[in-house]
Amino acid sequence: MPYKTVHISPASPRQSRASVLVIYTGGTFGMIYDPKASGLIPFDFDRVLDRVPELNRLDFDITILTLHEVIDSSNMKPAIWVELAQIIQDTYDEYDSFVILHGTDTMSYTASALSFMLVGLNKPVILTGAQLPIGVARSDARENFITALEIAAAVDAAAVDEGGGLTPAKGVPLVPEVCVYFNSLLLRGNRSTKQESVQFNAFISENYPHLATAGVSIDYNRLFIRPYQPGQQLSLRTTLDPNITILKLFPGITQPVVESIVNIPDLRAVVLETFGAGNAPTDGWFLDTIKRAIDRGVVFFNVSQCEGGRVTQGQYQTSKQLLQIGVVSGADITTEAAVTKLMVLLGQEHDPAKLRVLLTQSISGEMSE
């Protein structure tokens, strides 16, 4: 079934700077109050100009595609990541860039997953959403949407790609990677985390600098943006294995809890959420349980419960044995990136030893090696 789309022409067609595909997946962003239902319902993007008339003043082509089922992002699933990646691949030559409207709850997971699935990405994919629905007067939806579009369409006019592929070929994209734009900040998608559910500053990137800050002008932090790679082709990794789990440590965690987690049928990998710089209890039963699972082929990826800083296995006596039994350090990766990296790599690699090596390498800037 073809997707429902709406097209918005640029303010002055002769000066169109770019063409952007917007993919609407759902979330708070697109909600309006329906007096009949006495509640918030998703609004119909056919009428998007009624809600965001500013779109008419932008000088680029915008096509808005709505997924068949719009969802609260708490219902996000790997199958929808595959669908999003496929839409991007199918339309890659038609558009200069992509904006994904997404609920905030799992936006960082989707951004991380797409950063691993879109191999050789050379165009901007900017995820954004809102804390307040677009139908509410004080909503942050308009600013987030318009600035995400501006960022998606931004080009470096001094660096024209002779090979073409850009319409019009006025320069190369400034931000050719998967990002989250929210509340004036552009973040690398696989470095972002949702930190706030009430204030507008929903996302942070503790371990990587902001890629841009939007004030009166949009200031790009060019040193930290992945550069455009001439001639790079897009391909997809679309086999994801969800047989993973997160084991979050806490003082007093008991043996039956750890055992029941590591003995989940078909389990292939565990994100081990440790304390501080990657530390864990040194009780014999704990280390033995993990070691037995590793010997069976389950891969453990050590990610800190701290938002900032990094895992350094061996720095403290409480992490030395994790290193010795073969737990892989996640360095400064986020839990969102660790979960999705595991799903994607498990879909490619079946040998736990090889997987452990792949995990230590950065795929798309998600961790400092």
Distance CA 166, CA 250 (A): 51
Q: What are phi and psi of 160, to 5 degrees?
A: -75, 135
In the list 16, 66, 73, 313, the residue contacting ligand ASP (rule: CB under 6 A) is 73
- What residues from 53 to 72 belong to the interface with ligand ASP (CB under 6 A)? 72
To the nearest 10 degrees (0 to 180), the angle between helices 284-295 and 255-262 is 10
Q: Tokens 């800037």 correspond to what residue?
A: 365
- Minimum distance from residue 145 beta carbon to ligand ASP (Å): 13
The correct pick among 10, 42, 78, 103 for binding ligand ASP (CB under 6 A) is: 103
Who's near 328: CB < 8 A, 6+ residues apart? 299, 300, 301, 302, 356, 359, 360
* Nearest C-alpha neighbor of 117 from the set 348, 352, 353: 348
| Contacts with 142 (C-beta within 8 Å, 6 or more apart), sequence order | 52, 54, 134
CA distance 142 to 119: 31
Q: Minimum CB separation from ligand ASP for residue 144, in Å?
A: 11
**Which residues 129-188 are close enough to bind ligand ASP by CB under 6 A?**
129, 131
Alpha-carbon Rg of the chain, whole angstroms?
22
Q: Is the dihedral of CA 260, 261, 266, 269 positive or negative?
A: negative
Report the run of H or E that residue 337 belongs to, with start and end.
helix 335-348
Contact with ligand ASP (CB under 6 A) among 74, 217, 233, 361? 74
Return the number of the residue (173 or 189) whose C-beta is nearest ligand ASP.
189
Q: How far is the CB of 202 from ligand ASP (least distance, A)?
A: 7
Total residues found in the chain within this entry: 369
Whether 28 is catalytic: yes
- Of 43-51, 101-109, 119-127, 176-184: span binding ligand ASP (CB under 6 A): 101-109
Shortest Cβ distance from residue 298 to ligand ASP (Å)?
31
d(CA 284, CA 65): 54
Among 105, 140, 156, 332, binds ligand ASP (CB under 6 A): 105
> In this chain, which stretch among 99-107, 110-118, 288-296, 355-363 interacts with ligand ASP, using CB under 6 A?
99-107
d(CA 221, CA 244): 35
Bridge pairing between strands 185-188 and 212-214:
antiparallel
Report if residue 329 touches ligand ASP, rule: CB under 6 A: no
Least separation in angstroms between residue 120's CB and ligand ASP is 29
Does residue 30 bind ligand ASP (CB under 6 A)?
A: no
For CA atoms 358, 362, 367, 369, the dihedral sign is: positive
Instruction: Report whether 117 contacts 364 (CB < 8 A).
Output: no
Quick one: 185 or 290, whose CB is closer to ligand ASP? 185
Candidate list 25, 28, 110, 312, residue with the active-site label: 28
Which residue is nearest to ligand ASP, using beta carbons?
103
26 vs 173 by CB, closer to ligand ASP: 26
Contact between 192 and ligand ASP per CB under 6 A: no
For the CB of residue 335, give the shortest distance to ligand ASP in the complex, in Å: 17
Where does this chain bind ligand ASP (CB under 6 A)?
A: 26-28, 72-74, 103-105, 129, 131
Q: Which residues are catalytic?
A: 28
